[in-house]
């Protein structure tokens, strides 16, 4: 065999080995690895207002999981999967890392709790009815709306601009995008035809560079805060829901009609001389009142009935507990929480004049003078002969000036 033939044969073998090594490296790089990324959601909507208790105007039913993605159907916590790292194999860009995004609980629970919290924050007090299905809404109380939701998709992805990935971020990207799509229907209890229905979309975006903090390493802060992209997408979706559905107007209409029917029942019961039954209905009217005028009307009715009753009702222990806790919070200068706890006590015992007085003072301390005036007027109506009645009226004069 010629020497040149041996050299070519060795070169061919070396070439084949190099080719096989390159192919193996390419396969590893392209196949890459998958990281499970858990998105913290449990505390996304916890606020100081969590103490507030209001009669709900929207019942948010259990969300139906109707995602079309086959892989997500296998995992109720999955929020999507996407490339998170690119590399270079010579001049060739290759994927070598993928993130599998997971919620820390079922995605339908995240959506239901998020929608409930955001509606409440937007002035539409909502309650999550996890155990209630669509065919059970007939049993729900009238005068409010019922929201039924199908989750069509929830996707979390990276920004995949390859040039940015390779040049600016050296192959890493820390910007996340979230998109949620839902089919929504609004019902009135007892009705099978929706008052409104439509598709809603929400988007969110988050960048790790927001947390270039010297005290906390960016990667640590990123892990703590990345669930915010989920929150932003749901909040955006709820904002679109409120805008597209006219839910505020629908809610006001239903509550107004329910209040009219309730007051008719109150007058009928009061005429019959059933003082205890009348008081109960006025308390219900107080809890479901829309605005200060309806609240004041309910309080006036309560005061009128109390004057006719030989024995005034005692303050329930639960209401007393909330009042004591509110006073403690005022001493600690946690005024917002105190206002909410006084409200909670008054939901239980709206005839409690001292509770209206104290809540009015705390509201005024926060410069919330219109609300403070309304509460102090409730006190004057309920306790016109109180030793504090004169001071209360003087406060009203003072706050009316501030409210202008």
Over residues 131-153, the mean pLDDT reads 84
Predicted local distance difference test score (pLDDT) of residue 270: 82
Averaged pLDDT score across all residues of the chain: 81
Lookup: tokens for 319: 């209401």
Q: Which two tokens stand for residue 166?
A: 């390779």
Most confident among 46-50, 251-255, 303-307 (mean pLDDT): 303-307
3-state secondary structure (DSSP) of residue 313: coil
Burial class (CB in 10 A: 0-12, 13-18, 19+), 277: middle
CA angle 96/102/103 to nearest 5° reads: 155
Q: At what angle do helices 353-365 and 369-382 cross, to 10 degrees?
A: 160
The tokens describing 69, both together, are 């993605």
Contact 26, 94 (CB under 8 A): yes
Strands 33-39 and 92-103: parallel
Structure-block tokens of residue 123: 């002035």
| Residue 170 pLDDT > 50 | no
pLDDT at residue 135, rounded to an integer: 80
From CA 143, how far away is CA 56, in angstroms rounded? 10
Q: pLDDT digits over 236-248, tens only? A: 999 999 999 999 9
What's the Cα-to-Cα distance from 370 to each of 81, 100, 356, 361, 363, rounded to whole Å? 50, 50, 14, 12, 9
Q: Write out the H or E segment, with its range, that includes residue 368.
A: none
Q: What is the dihedral of CA 139, 190, 254, 257, to 10 degrees?
A: -90
So what's the pLDDT on residue 48?
Answer: 38
Structure tokens given for 371: 């609300």
Render pLDDT for 339-387 as a digit per residue (tens, 0 to 9): 999 999 999 999 999 999 999 999 999 999 999 999 999 999 999 999 9
What is the Cα 209 distance to its own chain's centre?
A: 26
- Per-residue pLDDT band for 175 (boundaries 50, 70, 90) equals confident
Q: Residue 6: which pLDDT band, with cuts at 50, 70 and 90?
A: very low
- Give the pLDDT score at 84: 59
Any idea how long the chain is? 404
Query: What's the CA gap between 389 and 400, in Å, rounded?
Result: 17
Please tell me the distance from the alpha carbon of residue 287 to that of residue 294, in angstroms, as a whole number.
10
Of 144-153, 176-185, 186-195, which gets the smallest average pLDDT? 186-195
Distance CA 3, CA 134 (A): 85
């Amino acid at each position: 065999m010629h020497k040149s033939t041996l050299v070519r044969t060795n070169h061919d073998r070396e070439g084949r080995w190099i080719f096989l090594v390159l192919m193996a490296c390419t396969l590893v790089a392209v196949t890459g690895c998958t990281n499970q990324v858990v998105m913290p959601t449990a505390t996304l909507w916890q606020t100081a207002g969590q103490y507030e208790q209001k009669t709900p105007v929207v019942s948010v039913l259990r969300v139906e999981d109707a995602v079309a993605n086959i892989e997500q159907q296998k995992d109720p916590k999955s929020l999507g999967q996407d490339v998170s790292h690119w590399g270079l194999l010579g001049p060739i860009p290759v994927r070598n890392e993928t993130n599998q995004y997971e919620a820390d609980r079922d995605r339908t629970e995240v959506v239901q709790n998020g929608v409930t919290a955001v509606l409440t924050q937007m002035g539409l007090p909502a309650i999550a009815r996890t155990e209630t299905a669509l065919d059970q809404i007939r049993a729900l109380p009238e005068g409010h709306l019922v929201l039924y939701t199908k989750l069509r998709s929830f996707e979390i992805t990276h920004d995949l601009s390859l040039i940015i990935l390779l040049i600016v971020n050296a192959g890493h990207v820390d910007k996340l995008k979230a998109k949620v799509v839902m089919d929504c229907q609004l019902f009135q209890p007892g009705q099978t035809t929706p008052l409104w229905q439509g598709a809603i979309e929400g988007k969110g975006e988050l960048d790790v560079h927001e947390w270039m903090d010297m005290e906390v390493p960016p990667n640590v802060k990123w892990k703590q805060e990345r669930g915010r992209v989920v929150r932003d997408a749901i909040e955006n979706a709820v904002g679109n829901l409120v805008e597209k559905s006219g839910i505020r107007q629908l809610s006001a209409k239903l509550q107004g009609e329910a209040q009219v029917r309730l007051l008719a029942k109150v007058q009928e019961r009061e005429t019959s001389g059933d003082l205890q039954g009348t008081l109960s209905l006025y308390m219900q009217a107080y809890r479901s009142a829309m605005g200060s005028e309806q609240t004041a009307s309910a309080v006036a009715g309560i005061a009128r009935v109390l004057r006719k009753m030989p024995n005034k009702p005692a303050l329930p222990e639960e209401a007393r507990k909330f009042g004591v806790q509110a006073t403690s919070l005022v001493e600690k200068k946690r005024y917002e929480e105190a206002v909410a706890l006084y409200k909670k006590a008054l939901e239980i015992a709206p005839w409690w004049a001292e509770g209206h007085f104290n809540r009015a003072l705390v509201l005024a301390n926060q410069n919330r003078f219109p609300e403070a005036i309304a509460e102090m007027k409730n006190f004057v109506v309920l306790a016109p002969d109180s030793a504090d009645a004169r001071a209360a009226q003087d406060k009203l004069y003072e706050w009316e000036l501030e409210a202008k």
